[in-house]
Amino acid sequence: MKALKIILLFFMVTISSYAQISVKLLQPPPYQFKIEQFWKVIIINSGEADKRQISVYLKGTATESLQGKIIEVTSSVITLQPGVKIISGRELGPFTIRESNSRFKNIRLKTGSVPSGNYEISITVFDAKGGKQLASDYISTTVENFNRMELISPIDREVIGNIPLGNKKNLKLKRIGRSPLIIFSWLPPVPAPPGARISYRLK
């Protein structure tokens, strides 16, 4: 929350005093970009007193460095009141989604994300009446769609912590109320980002 307040303050200080609408696209988590993150934006309506309220729609585009434009998503029309607004996807639906080919659509439906790659993600605000571009922002990000990690041992549904009494070492552990050492082993998610450190947490 503190970080968000700092972003808002910086954004309000740096916007042009001549622009009625300004937009800031928030940075997604590392190596991720879900489609709904197009709409994680801050919009400021700082227009003149007689033009405070304005109807707009948003258009988000993901462009991959090698394959070009992957997806374009257009929101429904919303009305901006004066001041700062943190947008959520619930306010902007239903959406119009256009992929550059069907393979990208299949990936989106399966993962909710764009394909792996290096992206420029842009968001643009348009006047709903005349279609004029009012503001835009973009970020650069890398997306990696990982395969799920796989537990090698113990195997699924294996009971751990029980001490079989087949040898003297286990009998000794039983007497002193201790369990044998349990070691978990995983196959890591693939592909692992360069320099990334993979860690696990048991719940």
Answer CATH for 2-143 from 3.30.70.100, 2.60.40.10, 2.40.170.20, 3.20.20.70: 2.60.40.10
Task: Indicate whether 149 pLDDT > 60.
Answer: yes
Q: Where are the domains of the chain?
A: 2-143, 150-187
pLDDT tens track for 15-46: 443 368 999 999 998 888 888 888 899 999 98
Cis peptide before 191 (omega within 30 of 0): yes
The confidence score (pLDDT) of residue 17 equals 38
From the list 17, 24, 56, the residue with the least C-alpha distance to 40 is 24
Q: Are 173 and 180 in contact, with CB atoms under 8 Å apart?
A: yes
- pTM, to two decimals: 0.66
What is the average pLDDT value for the chain, to the nearest integer? 78
User: CA-CA distance, 129 to 74, in Å (whole number)?
Assistant: 15
Q: Which of 97, 144, 113 is nearest to 35 (CA)?
A: 113
More confident residue, 97 or 5: 97
pLDDT tens readout for residues 167-190: 555 555 555 555 556 777 776 666
Q: What is the pLDDT of residues 92-102, one digit of tens each?
A: 889 999 988 88
pLDDT at 14 over 50: no
Query: Is there a contact between 80 and 23 (Cβ–Cβ < 8 Å)?
Result: no
* CA neighbor of 33 nearest in space, from 76, 90, 73, 78: 73
Q: What is the spatial distance between Cα 140 and Cα 128, in angstroms, rounded to a whole number?
A: 27
Query: How far is CA 133 from each of CA 3, 72, 77, 127, rounded to the nearest angstrom?
Result: 29, 16, 14, 6
pLDDT in tens, 46-95: 865 556 789 999 999 999 999 999 999 999 999 998 889 998 888 888 99
